[in-house]
């Protein structure tokens, strides 16, 4: 499995967990159990941060891939021009 795919998978997993914790926090908040609501909001925030981290890594990998493709196409163009 490619690194990019792994990071997409991890980001999606963290988004799902964050959504779950936000929903749980909302339920506890409605029941006026504010400590539990705050705890789940904290967990949701952490999962959101992890998802954003994985998305940033994906973006970095994409930039590297695009740069390497541009370099390869430039080298091919130089070879054609030299011939």
Residue 69 — pLDDT band, cuts 50, 70, 90? confident
| Tens digits of residue pLDDT in 41-52 | 999 999 999 999
**Domain enclosing residue 68, as ranges:** 3-82
d(CA 18, CA 2): 24
d(CA 49, CA 64): 23
How many structural domains compose the chain? Answer: 1
| Tens digits of residue pLDDT in 20-31 | 999 999 999 999
Residue 72 — pLDDT band, cuts 50, 70, 90? confident
What is the dihedral sign for C-alpha 31, 35, 39, 45? positive
């Amino acid at each position: 499995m490619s690194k990019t795919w792994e990071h997409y998978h991890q980001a999606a997993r963290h988004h799902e967990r964050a959504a779950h914790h936000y929903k749980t926090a909302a339920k506890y908040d409605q029941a006026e159990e504010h400590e539990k609501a705050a705890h789940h909001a904290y967990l949701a925030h952490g999962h959101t941060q992890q998802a954003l981290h994985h998305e940033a890594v994906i973006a970095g990998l994409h930039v590297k891939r695009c740069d390497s493709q541009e370099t390869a196409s430039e080298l091919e163009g130089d070879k054609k021009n030299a011939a």
